[in-house]
Amino acid sequence: MTELPNVHVRAEVLAQALPHMQRYDQEIVVIKYGGHAMGDRAAAEDFAEDIVLLEQSGLKPIVVHGGGPQIGRMLDRLGIQSEFRGGLRVTDEPTVEVVEMVLAGSINKQIVGWISAEGGRAIGLCGKDGNMVRAKRATKTVRDPDSMVEQVVDLGLVGEPEHVERGVLDAVLKAELIPVLAPVAYGADGQTYNVNADTFAGAIAGALRAKRLLLLTDVPGVLDKDKNLIPELTVEDCRRLIADGTITGGMIPKIETCIYAIDQGVEAVVILNGKVNHAVLLELFTDYGAGTLIRRA
């Protein structure tokens, strides 16, 4: 039998969540679920439970997932050797076939299954479906460590979103389904492109003017030079921290995605640790948050 004090505590938690639920009622929230964050089965089931609870609470969640580690393991299993340029994997024709198989196939349907197991109704899609996302070949630059000169790197079939057709997602959301999106898209040239999941999620959030974009990853959020979490930043703060070297490495493209999404009309973006139990609920339905919140000003 449950002790009465515990029941009171749970009721108080629900009451405190009410204003947050009202704030997000009928609002679109795009959640990017990272490849590293989905490595733990229990955490994945918690994530699926969070997504179903969001939908049942009146929000309109859209899940965009990555899968870099899983792609790497499949390439190894198939004996496909990857070429790296400037530390970045080149996506050639054999690689993009594996990318599509893993992202739009096994991972996508696994997440749909987790959500279904928690009582939700999810549908798995990729950028190709209904011409939802059109991509173009991405241009990447790296700095030569000796000359410090920026050089353009050809990464093959790596793409970046060029256009989002929101009609498909509007129809899915109207049907009260939860879209689970794999970041694979066609280009105008008929090629299949592997799109970075953060960038894909930012494009989706921007096109739908989402209330929130959550980037779940395997770090707590944006850290200062002493490795302490920075709970909130403005777009100007982000640019300053990139310029002074506080924000470095792989966090820079995440921040650039955040800025892009905000420029497109997303109210705020949060970078948070997807390995924290119920991180999505902590961020959206409590006063405490679970990562770094980035807003216009």
Q: Which residues are annotated as a binding site?
A: 67-68, 89, 194
Both tokens of 84, joined, read 């790296």
Q: What is the distance between the alpha carbons of residues 12 and 108, in angstroms, rounded to a whole number?
A: 36
Nearest to 122 by CA among 114, 130, 112: 112
Q: What is the distance between the alpha carbons of residues 40 and 29, in angstroms, rounded to a whole number?
A: 23
Q: Are 257 and 199 in contact (CB under 8 A)?
A: yes
Give 148-204 as a DSSP string.
--EEEE--BSEEEEEEE-THHHHHHHHTT-EEEEESEEEETTS-EEEE-HHHHHHHH
Query: Residues comprising the binding site for substrate?
Result: 67-68, 89, 194
- Checking DSSP bridges between strand 192-195 and strand 158-164, what pairing results, if any? parallel
Nearest to 247 by CA among 292, 288, 195, 297: 292
Q: Are 217 and 37 in contact (CB under 8 A)?
A: yes
